[in-house]
Structure 1
Amino acid sequence: MSVYETDIVIVGGGIAGQSLAAALVDAALVDAAAGAGVDAAGGAGSDAPRIVVVESENTLGHHTSSRSASQMQPSYGPPEIRALTAATLGLMPGIERALETSILSPRPLIWCGLRGSEAQADSVLASVPDAREGSIAEAVSRLPALRASALESIAFDENAQEVDVTALLGYYRERMHAGGVTVLQGSAVSDAQPLADGWRVTAGSNEIRSRIVVNAAGAWADPLAGLFGKAPRGLQPYRRTITVAAATGRAVDPSWPMACDMGNTFYFRPRGTEILASPLEDSPSVAEDARPRTSDVADVTQRINAVTDLALGGSSRSWTGLRTLSPSGLPIVGREPGDPTFYWLAGQGGYGIQTSAALGRMVAADLLGRDAGLGDDVAAAFARLAPVPRPSLA
């Protein structure tokens, strides 16, 4: 058995765990440039914190992080999410300069109110900041595949962006490598025992002794917490399927905007010369390596063909991720009440990519006892994600 002594062990190699590890590395490099180290508790020290990332799968980002719709929408989600998304978008130019490539590209969103549906533009305009009401004629002009006869109302979100998730994950991994982060793949956590100054964690054939454990286990966050004697937070995974199909009715313009039903029964956008689409199902699931169901793929194909002339054919590829939600709908982020050695970073609920850079920086700053430098609004939003006190398991 390999034994590792570390300051922070991050359990979960999805975008939450990777962005946090990258942010911790960046904070350490800033300290090194200033000639001062920092320890995991935030005090001055001679060395940067040692970091281990533990992932049960044989690859990082195997589950939901690699199965997203690849969108960043500043108006998507509750106020706390919108604040973190705006901050993440503000950090993207620096990441793009470091990569010497673009991560974001404009992909406006057309909200479609369908004939006979109760979901209409008024509800979107009331809940989506910066959305504007538009005409059906404008929607069809910008997305000619739409059938005007199927539409009753329209709203536009001009600020939505498409994100190159592969490049973004690659950036986080490059930062981890630069900072000497130890990554243990194929190492599921099977046991955790408290120590006087942290935890002894068994993960695969490895033993990790760490001062702080970060629970970034996605759909598995509640079961993982149980291994550490912590009460579950009511985190529930939900299925979300995406499929890619060729259009047989007309050629696809890769620059078309994205379209979403206001009633949340589908969205679609170009992916090259094909169409990427989702039925937006929210089916409760156990924590698992989810696989697409034929019925969900058939449903979204039928729905989109009813409101467009795309005539989608058979899918070339489909995948399903799990959106893990807390009872409040907000992520659970912060120290376990009464135990500063156990830290929650869970329940992103489909917002993980669009909040990743800012949330990673906020958590890193919290662990290191410093100001993240993202402003009072983001700090206030972050504070509202903290776990509420609950009794420990007996």
Structure 2
Amino acid sequence: MKTADVIIIGGGIAGIGAAARIAPEASVVILEMEDAPARHATGRSAAIYIRNYGNATLRALNAASEPVLSEPAGISDSSLLTPRGEMIVADEAGITSLESYLDGSDGLERLDASEAIELFPLLRRDWVQAAAFEKAAQDIDVDRLLQGFLKLARRHGAELVTNAAVTGIQRHENLWQIETPAGRFQAPVVVNAAGAWADQVAALAEVDKVGLSALRRSAAIIAPPPGLAPNHWPLVASAAEDWYIKPDAGKFMVSPADEDPVEPHDAWPDDMVLAEGIYRAEQAADLQVKRLEHTWAGLRTFAPDRTPVVGFAPEVDGFLWLAGQGGYGVQTAPALSQLAADLCLGKSSSLSREILTSLHPSRFQG
């Protein structure tokens, strides 16, 4: 039986980030069910920091994370961000959705159709009616962030155990005892950072589930039209959230922005969903997609209110939720990693009481 101060279940960006912040002051073991960390949502992220992405709580977490992404002391020698920009575009039917996105936003510039086409020349003039541009949106170097967190955690003694799917959890004499194929582990505090499997982990521990939903998001890489070099073009997304296009290493990543409910699993793309999403993108932009060079899918896991779940379960001691990050997990990782560490170590958080309340799992109890 291996004993630690904190056991973290899940080796994605949430779990690895939390370990990096906890390990300087407590012993940590990370249990990952795959043979390496970040096999699922983290490794399949669109990898962009968008401050205005998500609801009010998420926008606050985005803002709290930006200083670490810009100046990642102890994680990397240089910024993890690279200028990209994000443009939300709308046809006539999408203008109401665009206005909703603009509500409460910070740093968004309204554009007319001509200005939008100047930034992304493939947009069809007969389709785009309005747009908004977030110049401060930036690409995130996800691998450097993850590996930096992992090196920091290990530097302070944290242990990553792979091929360690949790098969049993029991509370005994103020310790959580955890069974895995890689051995048995115990600690007074467990952090549930299991992503799409977080409700299943809670059930093993006889902790109330919070109602997480795993939603599939698909994507494909396509070649741009001949003669174009779109490396410095912004990401462009439909205000209706039914497609987006992101320049990627001289090509385009195209997604139908799908959110199809699925059981937690190693996700793969649905060819018909991809085809329908690419068709919608072709109506807005002059792409004429003939071949998909690469396709993949990942899971975005949401709580019912689409806000992360972070806090100790109210019905039992020492079970910390760190789940439900949806499509915001990478860009909110610095803030939520620090919050998880503060909670585990009994420290005060720099986040407001309002934000802490909006994240707490007790909000799902009647």
Q: 1:17 is matched by which residue type in structure 2?
A: G
**For the residues of structure 2 that align with 1:14 and 1:23, how far apart are their CA atoms?**
14
**For the residues of structure 1 that align with 2:357 and 2:156, how far apart are their CA atoms?**
28
Is 2:13 the partner of 1:22?
Answer: no
What SS does the corresponding residue of 2:293 show, helix, strand or coil? strand
Residue in 2 that maps onto 1:346? 323
**For the residues of structure 1 that align with 2:363 and 2:82, how far apart are their CA atoms?**
41
Instruction: Map 1:35-46; keep pairs closer than 5 Å.
Output: none
What SS does the corresponding residue of 2:201 show, helix, strand or coil? helix
Is 2:165 the partner of 1:165?
Answer: no
Residue in 2 that maps onto 1:39? none
Runs of 5+ consecutive residues of structure 1 not aligned to the other structure = 29-47
RMSD: 1.8
Residue in 2 that maps onto 1:388? 362
Instruction: Map 1:290-329; keep pairs closer than 5 Å.
Output: 290-329=267-306
Q: 1:315 is matched by which residue type in structure 2?
A: L
What SS does the corresponding residue of 1:146 show, helix, strand or coil? coil
Q: Deviations over 1:212-234 (max 9, x none)?
A: 11111110011111110112111
Q: 1:197 is matched by which residue type in structure 2?
A: N
Runs of 5+ consecutive residues of structure 2 not aligned to the other structure = none
Tell me the CA shift for residue 371 of structure 1. Answer: 2.9
What is the aligned residue count? Answer: 365
**For the residues of structure 2 that align with 1:169 and 1:98, how far apart are their CA atoms?**
9
What SS does the corresponding residue of 1:80 show, helix, strand or coil? helix
Q: 1:218 is matched by which residue type in structure 2?
A: G
**For the residues of structure 2 that align with 1:253 and 1:385, how far apart are their CA atoms?**
38
What SS does the corresponding residue of 1:324 show, helix, strand or coil? strand
Tell me the CA shift for residue 308 of structure 1. Answer: 1.6
Residue in 1 that maps onto 2:118? 141
**For the residues of structure 2 that align with 1:354 and 1:98, how far apart are their CA atoms?**
15
Q: 1:291 is matched by which residue type in structure 2?
A: W
Contact 2:5 2:27 in 1 (8 A): yes
Tell me the CA shift for residue 261 of structure 1. Answer: 0.4
1:214–1:97 CA distance, 2 compared to 1 (3 A): closer
Residue in 2 that maps onto 1:34? none
**For the residues of structure 2 that align with 1:249 and 1:50, how far apart are their CA atoms?**
54
Contact 1:212 1:343 in 2 (8 A): yes
Q: 1:128 is matched by which residue type in structure 2?
A: S
1:390–1:371 CA distance, 2 compared to 1 (3 A): closer
1:303–1:11 CA distance, 2 compared to 1 (3 A): same
What SS does the corresponding residue of 1:370 show, helix, strand or coil? coil
**Looking at CA atoms only, which structure, 1 or 2, has the larger radius of gyration?**
1
Contact 2:40 2:298 in 1 (8 A): yes
Tell me the CA shift for residue 148 of structure 1. Answer: 1.3
Tell me the CA shift for residue 121 of structure 1. Answer: 3.6
Q: 1:23 is matched by which residue type in structure 2?
A: R
**For the residues of structure 1 that align with 2:87 and 2:363, how far apart are their CA atoms?**
41
What SS does the corresponding residue of 2:253 show, helix, strand or coil? strand
**For the residues of structure 2 that align with 1:89 and 1:53, how far apart are their CA atoms?**
25
**For the residues of structure 1 that align with 2:9 and 2:191, how far apart are their CA atoms?**
6
Please, which of 241, 245, 263 is the counterpart of residue 222 of structure 2?
245
**For the residues of structure 1 that align with 2:364 and 2:307, how far apart are their CA atoms?**
17
Tell me the CA shift for residue 389 of structure 1. Answer: 6.8
**Percent identity, aligned pairs only?**
30
Tell me the CA shift for residue 263 of structure 1. Answer: 0.6
Tell me the CA shift for residue 96 of structure 1. Answer: 6.2
What SS does the corresponding residue of 1:247 show, helix, strand or coil? coil
**For the residues of structure 2 that align with 1:311 and 1:252, how far apart are their CA atoms?**
16
Tell me the CA shift for residue 309 of structure 1. Answer: 2.0
Please, which of 211, 220, 223 is the counterpart of residue 188 of structure 2?
211
Residue in 1 that maps onto 2:337? 360
Q: Which has the larger displacement, 354-363 or 304-313?
A: 304-313
Q: Which has the larger displacement, 313-322 or 219-228?
A: 313-322
Tell me the CA shift for residue 305 of structure 1. Answer: 2.0
Tell me the CA shift for residue 115 of structure 1. Answer: 3.8
What SS does the corresponding residue of 2:228 show, helix, strand or coil? coil
